[in-house]
């Protein structure tokens, strides 16, 4: 009996995300699970010197453009891996929050994310994978990203 029915793969469109996608797809095949992809465009409004959000209409146009570009990349990625467009999501917001919210709303039972295994200052500053790992309502598969030869 398959352990997972709905697998969500979080992608960032980097070359390394190919490793994450492949691991998620392979796990999906073993479990005969539906595969979903999500990409979150970081929602960072411009701030002033007092760290207050600034109202800048151009920023909203730029965000719309970023979402449009991300949607095109997502469509190409989904097509390349035979994932239905209906199983993809591109949204703006905080990746830590939006990915967790998606897992809850869509009955995801396995979340697949990439992890660079950083140490030192990068680890102190935190990453997206760490809070997701500790707050996800489902199993999380953190795929160690292997350095690609140049």
Residue 93 placed within a domain: yes
Residue pLDDT, tens place only, 31-74? 999 999 999 998 666 555 665 555 655 555 577 888 999 999 99
CA–CA distances in Å: residue 42 to residues 34, 70, 73, 94, 142: 26, 11, 16, 6, 20
Residue 48 placed within a domain: yes
Residue 1 placed within a domain: no
Residue 123: the pLDDT is 42
Residue 137 placed within a domain: yes
Number of domains in the chain: 1
Q: What domain range is 36 assigned to?
A: 6-144
Would you place residue 16 in the very low, low, confident or very high pLDDT band (cuts 50, 70, 90)? confident
Residue 150 placed within a domain: no
Q: Give which of 16, 35, 20, 30 is closest to 147, Cα–Cα.
A: 16
- CA–CA gap between residue 124 and residue 54 (Å, rounded): 28
Residue pLDDT, tens place only, 83-134? 999 999 999 988 889 999 999 999 999 999 987 655 443 444 346 777 888 8
37 bridge partner residues: 9, 88
Residue 149 placed within a domain: no
Q: Enter the tokens of residue 67.
A: 């979402």
* Residue 102: CATH number of its domain: 3.40.50.620
Residue 110 placed within a domain: yes
What is this structure's pTM? 0.81
The phi, psi pair for 111, rounded to 5°, reads -110, 130
């Amino acid at each position: 009996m398959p352990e997972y029915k709905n697998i969500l793969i979080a992608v960032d469109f980097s070359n390394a995300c190919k490793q994450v996608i492949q691991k998620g797809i392979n796990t999906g095949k073993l479990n005969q699970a539906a595969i979903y992809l999500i990409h979150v465009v970081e929602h960072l409004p411009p701030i002033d010197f007092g760290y207050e959000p600034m109202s800048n209409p151009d920023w909203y146009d730029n965000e719309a453009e970023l979402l449009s570009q991300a949607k095109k990349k997502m469509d190409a990625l989904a097509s390349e891996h035979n994932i239905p467009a209906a199983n993809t999501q591109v949204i703006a917001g905080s990746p830590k929050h939006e990915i967790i919210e998606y897992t809850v709303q869509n009955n995801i039972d396995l979340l697949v994310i990439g992890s660079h295994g950083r140490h030192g200052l990068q680890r102190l500053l935190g990453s997206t994978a760490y809070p997701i790992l500790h707050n996800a309502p489902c199993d999380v598969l953190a795929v160690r990203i292997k350095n690609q030869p140049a």
